[in-house]
Amino acid sequence: MVIEYSKLRFPKELVFFTSLKQEMALLVNPELGTYATFELKYLGVLQACENGMYKDMSEVDNLFSTLIIRRVIYYGAFEPTINEYVPPIPQSLYWETTHGCSLRCEYCYMSADTILPGELTTAEAVSLIDQAAELGIQDFMFTGGEPLIRKDIFELGKYAKNKGLVSQLITNSTLITSSQIAKQVSESFEYVTTSLDGATPWANDVHRGSGSFDKIVKGIRSLNAVGVMRWTPSYRQQSEVS
């Protein structure tokens, strides 16, 4: 994507958080609730661009392309549709349990890979679940990264159920390597969502990594064997589903 920097437009407000230890920055667009992470060294480039100091920044085209695609900043004639109505009580809460993941999918919106310092402890996660229940949340989604990387994930899933929440797991299924793990998933969560990018290893592995198809299929079959049947086909393989 070749970017004409004069066509960049920024929302009324951008919020950023920095981690000096990790040398990373998190940029949030409050208008749309969108965000992206990037190397801290690029923060000054963004600030200069926002202030109208346009220059040749072709070396960061990939960064700006990501920000445009994720609607963190705007490009050209795009006008965001902002719904100012805020419901009194959200129905669902999605908790990104960890940045760690067992796959390296090329399209991952989090660019998930390794566990980050400062992720919620078990006690902090329990407090989050308590607050969600007190607020009146109905659906509590455990997502990631890959939630099954957390050693306390089954404890937390059961805790959410006991608090009256609909405990749901979003997983890539690669860590469901046995019937015992599948049973723990079934007992801890009321719904499980996973995905497969194609009906063949080639269609899936080209985007999610070599060998991932077999691991995902094994995980899905293990879930099916204990009565978990829900899964999500991706757009890449809708035509392959009869």
Inform me whether the pLDDT recorded for 93 exceeds 70: yes
User: 130 Cβ partners below 8 Å, 6+ apart?
Assistant: 163
For the residues 7-30, what does the mean pLDDT come to?
A: 86
Inform me whether the pLDDT recorded for 185 exceeds 60: yes
The answer to whether position 112 is within a domain reads yes
Do 128 and 191 lie in a common domain? yes
CATH of residue 142's domain is: 3.20.20.70
**pLDDT at 215 (0 to 100):** 94
Average pLDDT value for the chain:
85
Last residue of a domain, one of 45, 75, 105: 75
Do 69 and 101 lie in a common domain? no
96 touches 145 (CB < 8 A) = yes
pLDDT (tens digit per residue) in 31-40? 888 998 888 8
**pLDDT at 122 (0 to 100):** 96
For the residues 73-87, what does the mean pLDDT come to?
A: 78
Do 104 and 221 lie in a common domain? yes
User: What DSSP string runs through 168-236?
Assistant: EEE--STT--SHHHHHHHHHH-SEEE-EES-SSHHHHHHHH-TTHHHHHHHHHHHHHHTT----EE-GG
The answer to whether position 86 is within a domain reads no
Do 16 and 134 lie in a common domain? no
Q: How many domains would you assign to the chain?
A: 2
The answer to whether position 55 is within a domain reads yes
Strand 8-9 versus strand 232-233 pairing type: unpaired
Do 67 and 124 lie in a common domain? no
Do 102 and 62 lie in a common domain? no
